[in-house]
Structures are given as C-alpha cells and as structure tokens.
Amino acid sequence: MKQKLLLVVVGLVAVGLTVFGATVAFRKDVSAAPEGFASPINVGCYIAAPNQCRIHVDPFTININDGAGARLQQFTLYANGSPIYDFRTDVSNPPGVDYSPSLVAQDFAATCGTTYVVNMIAKDTTDANPLNYGQTTAFTCPTTVP
Amino acid sequence: MRRGSRFVTATLFVVVTAIWLRASGAAPASAATAATASALNAGCYLATPTVCKLQVDPFAVQTFFGARLEGIRLQANGQTIYDFRTDVSNPPSGSYSPSRVKLGFAATCGRAYVVSLQVDDSSQPDFTTVAQTTLFTCPQGRSDVFLPLVTR
C-alpha cells in the first residue's frame, strides 16, 4: 500500500516538473519594468507610398501622481534612440491629472525596411530627471508596395 | 511490485511523450486558447487619379486565458504592409482594437488583393492568421501622358 502511494506521488511530481519545465522553456522573456507609469506603448510601421513608411503610435495615457501634486512637464517619443516627437506642457497651467495626448495628424516619418524600437520618456514635477515610461518590442517597416 | 513498475513506466512514457510533443511544435492544447479577431473588412480606392490606397476597417483582436497580445501584422497578398508590436513590459490582454493609421496603406492600381490579419500572443510560438478578406481589385488609375509642346 505504501509502495503504491509512493509511486503515485512520484508520478505526480514527474508530471508537475514536466509542466513547469515546459512553461519555463517556452515562455517569452519580458524586459525590465518601466520607471514611470503610462498605459502600454503600442506602435507599428506601415508603407504609405513607394519608399514612404510611417510609424503609427496608438493612443496612450501618462499617469500623473496627482496625490503628490505632480504636474506633467514633458514627454518625448524616441525611435531607435532618436526623438521623433518632443512635447511640452503649459508653463503656467501644466496638467495635474492623467494625460492622453492627441494623435498626430500624419504619423511619424520612418525608413522603409528599417527595424525600430519606440520608447516614451516623460517627466513630471516630482521627477528629478525624465523617466522611461514604456517601450515596444522591435518591429520592421515594410520594404515594398504590394 | 510488477503493477507498481508498470505504473512508473506508464507515467514516464506520458511524461516523455508530453515533452517530445511540446518540443516538436505540436501544441493541440494551446490551439484552443489561440487569439481570435473580429471580421476583417478592407477595400481599395483611388486616393488620387494615379494613386491607390488600401483601407482597412477597424477590427478587434481577442486573447484568452490571460494570454498577452505581442504583435499584429496586416498582409496584402502575403506581403506585410503593417508590422505592429506591443509594450514590452505591459502588453495588452483581452480585447484590443488598434487605432487606424493616418495615411492609409500603399497599393498598386489595377491589382487584386486579399488582405489578411496575423496575430502573435503569448500562448503561441509565432504569428497566426486569424482573419482574411475575400478578393477585391483596386480601381484602374489613370496614367497621365504629357506631351511636350514646342512653340516658336
């Protein structure tokens, strides 16, 4: 009886280890957490015309710590480390609550065939320096018109 | 004792088979949790007399059981026209509707297209086609012919 119980336990442990091992082996790695808080930064690149590609950024919200009286001062969008959108707030009346910037009218210029990572850096009045608020995984602009 | 060793052998066989199936890429269990999408509706129009554009109507992608959306690809005749990726630290889950691009997608006038939507979520190893249009044809653009004028 004891032997049967032991065998059942061994079998269950083996199955459990298999499931755990498969989960660990096939998971997709996630990078470090952002320093500030914003809704996810989701971005893509599309071909608008021959040799004309554009980066499109989905709407996002920057979370302001209104409990601490923080006010949003700036945010900047970067593509591969180069700024593509530098945004500043009102000097006398900066936003003190969560802020969702409007979408630009023509999307952002990009080079067809290039792979990009886009990240957003922002600063409020409680930050000593701008902080990274979100970043995409790499995506590639199309090369030719279908 | 014989029954016991048979049980251990059977258990080990199941374990090895599970590992082999997972490693070989066959994942019948995860197919049930693969992402889905709303209907994909698209067309082609004359943006100018000589330029055609693909227009894709808004759509929503749905992930299940806590799976996170990692990427979306729109393809025209199998060629990627829009490569979209999500936040590396906080990818969306559940229902997600990407916003529409501002300038539309380039297309060739007079050509027939099928537009398809591929999705990659954390429950799948790679992109999977989840929606597709039927065939449609871009209008025939006008080719402007310029005749040089020689004046004396």
B59 contact A CB<8A:
no
Domain check: are B54 and B124 in the same one? yes
Residue B99, domain member (yes or no): yes
Domain check: are A24 and A49 in the same one? no
Interface with chain B: mutation pick from A9, A41, A47, highest number of B CBs within 10 Å: A47
Structural domains in chain A (count): 2
Contact B35, B96 (CB under 8 A): no
Domain of B67 in residue numbering reads as 32-137
pLDDT reading at B27 higher than 80: no
- Residue B108 has φ and ψ, to the nearest 5°, of -105, 125
Mean local confidence (pLDDT), B10-32: 54
Residue among B107, B82, B97, B57 nearest A55 (CA)? B82
Residues of A with CB below 8 A from B14's CB?
15
Please give the Cα distance from A128 to A140 (Å, whole number): 34
Residue B130, domain member (yes or no): yes
Instruction: Tell me the pLDDT tens digit for each residue of A75-105.
Output: 999 999 999 999 999 988 899 989 999 999 9
Residue A120, domain member (yes or no): yes
Structure-block tokens of residue B11: 């258990």
Assembly ipTM: 0.72
Residue B143, domain member (yes or no): no
Q: Is B144 exposed, middle or buried (0-12, 13-18, 19+ CB in 10 A)?
A: exposed
Q: Is B69 exposed, middle or buried (0-12, 13-18, 19+ CB in 10 A)?
A: buried
Using the beta-carbon criterion (under 8 Å), do B83 and A139 form an inter-chain contact? yes
Q: How high is the pLDDT of residue A25?
A: 44
Residue A37, domain member (yes or no): no
Structural domains in chain B (count): 2
Residue A119, domain member (yes or no): yes
Tell the residue number behind the tokens 């890429």, with chain if given.
B25
Q: Which residue of B has its CA nearest to A108?
A: B102
More confident residue, B100 or A9: B100
Using the beta-carbon criterion (under 8 Å), do A140 and B15 form an inter-chain contact? no
Domain check: are B123 and B52 in the same one? yes
Q: How high is the pLDDT of residue B110?
A: 94
B99 contact A CB<8A:
yes
Residue B109, domain member (yes or no): yes
Residues 6+ away with beta carbon under 8 Å from A66? A96, A97, A98
Domain of A92 in residue numbering reads as 43-140
